[in-house]
Structure 1
């Protein structure tokens, strides 16, 4: 039985940390291709490679793979060999590229040509098909039934094949990254889990409007401004936040200073409006949350109490002073009357 090899971007990044040279010195452009094709179509294109290293040459080995959505919903692709075609959505077997090693001198560039040939016939599923060309720092090795690859970067390819294409999306979850509704200060980090139940990749975009307790919009946030894709039959997480100053800039600040510099107060309503698909289908969701900076409120309340007590004490002393003055004046008037009566 074949041993499947899944290589996620997280794994690749871990390898890159361990390897000081190689794929980490390579720039691939563009990072992805997106095509809309018909059965029988052929497209020719070029991947541009740039060796950023200052000295020496690097050799890279092109490898063609399929990819699908990661199980962690983070959007990192999971790569698998061309012969493993998940749900008939693979693209690798349609990609033609010269897999000979490419040697690039320091600060030099190279082009890698490839073609995608969509076959004709009833076996070709309409909708999305997904593959990638990876640039490895070592030649692919076959060990038993597995495939071994070293440090690598990739240019991924998304193809939409015409036919009975179903664009079906939904909001699996909309809420907060930190599951609570009461906060002491900004930022408020929102979490969107978008579910693609169709057969082609979708790019949900839209806006999140934050309104205060009397309906005024205090902030508007863009959702998925990078136009990231959600692959068929998968869920992808998107996070976005409302803040005034970043947490990094306040990393050494006290909790009180954070409440002051990332101030908000009261009840807020977050209204999400999403669009997706070729016909701009609309999805909406609403959440309510509260911000109560209790440290600031305690200081403000304490200061107000001191001010009120001071005013009350001043008024009481002032009233007593007026009363004493009135009594002295009354005494003087009474004495004046007595003197007049004697005369």
Structure 2
């Protein structure tokens, strides 16, 4: 997808339907091609619309086109190669009109993608900016020029917004970079596996087929909100497939991992274990003191040696118990 159609509403009811909203074609240098675009007026009054084209510099991270700025921004490239059969369209309320236009591609047109927006506007093209108030409706033009086409899409990043989640609400971010000179349209899957290697979910990436313009980056977010009880360590593998001009495909992939540790469950378990260790420690201390009291009453000087021996034994017992509990926790969270 290159864009979605849009409309700007004025005081009166203004509603238009434009088709197609995207025109794509493969072309040769020095060739000439004709196209048409139909606009339907669903508003309550007729209007006159004027065609105007604007060159697209790139596609932003939010998948919206960024237009070339400046006084001569449309004096070259694709916007300047278009001629219109109709200089204006008179579209009555409830009626429709068709714009016919021709694109003549120069002999020295560079290989790769050429992008422009073709708009129907209430402002005549020769009117200066700010001298009239109106609205634009438009479509995207994309022409793939033959020649030395370079196709090279790379994985720039694949990550989650957190390493550890307290609840199963994971957001994946996939960033792909287009190093080529033609549009890239990556689509694919994120496969999620649990700590046992079992696949628990497959998520679609770029289901709406947003494109990445040459020498720019595309960003796609995918959410995973599984139902039911989820806990442990998870691994996610993303694989993107990019269609190529010659009919083949390029595949890129990456891996990330994350934890889901529900604190409403982990908290009470850890608290209970801590309480158990604390109570055990207090009981051992009481036992030691009781033994010391007996030794002091019967052996006098031997009491000191007995106290040190029993205290050291208690410390070792507590340390071993704590190590066992920590080991069990690690085994539980890592192996389930």
* TM-score past 0.5 threshold: yes
Equivalent position of 1:189 in the other structure: 171
Tell me how far apart the structure 1 counterparts of residues 120 and 68 of structure 2 sit (CA, whole Å): 15
How do residues 293-304 of structure 1 correspond to structure 2 at under 5 angstroms?
A: 293-298=262-267, 301=269
Change (3 A) 1:160 1:185: same
Indicate yes or no: 2:119 matched with 1:130.
Answer: no
Residue 282 (structure 1) shift = 1.3
| Runs of at least 5 residues in structure 1 that lack an aligned partner in the other structure | 1-8, 245-260, 306-343
Equivalent position of 2:191 in the other structure: 209
TM-score, normalising length from structure 1? 0.69
Equivalent position of 1:330 in the other structure: none
Equivalent position of 1:43 in the other structure: 33
Indicate yes or no: 2:8 matched with 1:16.
Answer: yes
Equivalent position of 1:265 in the other structure: 231
TM-score, normalising length from structure 2? 0.70
How do residues 20-39 of structure 1 correspond to structure 2 at under 5 angstroms?
A: 20-21=11-12, 25-39=15-29
Change (3 A) 1:298 1:114: same
Change (3 A) 1:85 1:136: closer
Tell me how far apart the structure 2 counterparts of residues 200 and 39 of structure 1 sit (CA, whole Å): 16
Equivalent position of 1:101 in the other structure: 88
Tell me how far apart the structure 1 counterparts of residues 203 and 256 of structure 2 sit (CA, whole Å): 14
Task: Report the secondary structure of 1:75's partner residue.
Answer: coil
Equivalent position of 1:139 in the other structure: 124
Residue 225 (structure 1) shift = 1.9
Tell me how far apart the structure 1 counterparts of residues 208 and 58 of structure 2 sit (CA, whole Å): 18
Residue 127 (structure 1) shift = 0.8
Q: Is the 8 A contact 2:184 2:211 kept in 1?
A: yes
Equivalent position of 1:84 in the other structure: 73
Tell me how far apart the structure 2 counterparts of residues 147 and 208 of structure 1 sit (CA, whole Å): 50
Residue 16 (structure 1) shift = 3.0
Indicate yes or no: 2:251 matched with 1:282.
Answer: yes
Alignment RMSD, CA only?
Answer: 3.3
Tell me how far apart the structure 2 counterparts of residues 142 and 103 of structure 1 sit (CA, whole Å): 18
Change (3 A) 1:208 1:16: same
Task: Report the secondary structure of 1:154's partner residue.
Answer: strand
Report runs of 4+ in structure 1 exceeding 6 Å deviation: 146-149
Task: Report the secondary structure of 1:116's partner residue.
Answer: strand
Q: Is the 8 A contact 1:265 1:291 kept in 2?
A: yes
